[in-house]
Chains A and B, each alone.
Chain A
């Protein structure tokens, strides 16, 4: 028998393409385990109808690792905590090599990430140079994630051909002050708004399993939906040694799957990407269930400071599931 919220979602989200409200999302997140397969199946149908069957594949790389002045309590790259991650700058040839390897997997997206509050001139110069070199040698879309931006920096990145910019909300507004104290939610929203104004695609993600309540998880999904991002990368906390959240338990796999379904039902048309922590939280079986439960994009291979499943494991899974990899679209 179907749960009432799933009947509502079928009408509202699947048929009309209208995402669930915050209160409705709480109901999805509270569904009992025996309703989970039906929730995932509905989320999958929503994704197929409103996004299509393609899966967008992306590789990410850290151009500047560690030593960040911010204090995001989940992050091993914050210089505020006693984490084993040391500062490293990646050189351009290595970056180009990584872009080539990423493109060889069939990925259409390559995201250059730096652990900073916002970029300084040195970093922007390095990024600009890297973009030029990648363009010369590799056919792939380039995205960036360089922290909070000024208007001028947003315009610079857009003019260099950065087509998408990542800046996460991470958690609900009501929980944010417990996770980050060195900048505000509003500052994050400002960067997100400027990115959209400049015509770049906004990639704005979530990190769940940090001790937030189900209500706060629903709040986050609704706050993301209100931003209408092109993409939402969904991360699950991988507790990092030395950080304030280092002793947090790994999130329950079923709760993670409920969240996947809920995020899809909140945002029927958004690219919903599997990002960090899924290996730990969901394992191989859960990875498959998520791809059949609303996810339509993956990060292949490793993350910024941790390792992922081998790219082949994900690519073979897509073949098994009969899901085509999204092709590079030339819009220029």
Chain B
């Protein structure tokens, strides 16, 4: 019995379909290159599923609308690109603070500002981490293929529901527009985790004891939702111990579920001397390098690809740095993740940035050349 069927599709489409498979039934968005296809797929598909597609008046409203719909109990997603991602930041912070699940896709394009709308870049890594103000936690995925886009979108929806936490998908323009095969599970095979509808009568929206599922509005639990610091019932507080506890709560829920959140993948030599650490579409070039250097030439090299970039996979980097002499970090920006790698390598390995920011992908030769220097 075939469990899956291969389908050729674009990255943006895979994102839309992954969202739908994970139960997303509400999309609000605003047109922006190179993410528009996600909105177009949702506009096409959601109505037939009884879902809602709405094109809002701007990026800010799109973000607000998905939060509103999530409070109503729907699974929601919006997609944008750099300029729109900037505009969404305030309400992303709101969703973090109010613990409202939602998924935000940023199909990155070259910036700053309007930049090159159709050129790929990985320039929003730090913005995805720190774009909204205040000391907030965030989850960010960075798929390396159309296939990963599909599955990471599903993971994003499920995690956001479970943790009541916005999840960001940083898609690369090349992935968004590339066509690849995806194995789509047969209907009914996908496990969509459902937050429990059965809540105890003493349910509190922000229970001090830990995570509770969100009870949507309209079911007789009269709680308050605000972006202000709040107590376990949602009411504003400025009381220092309560404020500190509330902020700790937001961070602890991610720390406690670290193993489920942090996704990485290692390929290559068992005892590498040189490792590449990268994410998103740059993984593809790095994989080509490892294929040639390790699988063909048996050189002591490896690749650690990061599907999750935030929270940063600190332990994985720490462990890797103990094994290798050198870590090469190729990125399509002026060096954003490399600082984190350096921080967690803790001087155990040399960390070498490899950057490209002309709107073109890093090609395998560039990485190969850098690697060769450290192997001779």
Whether A associates with B in a native complex is no
On B, residues with C-beta under 8 Å from A are none
On A, residues with C-beta under 8 Å from B are none
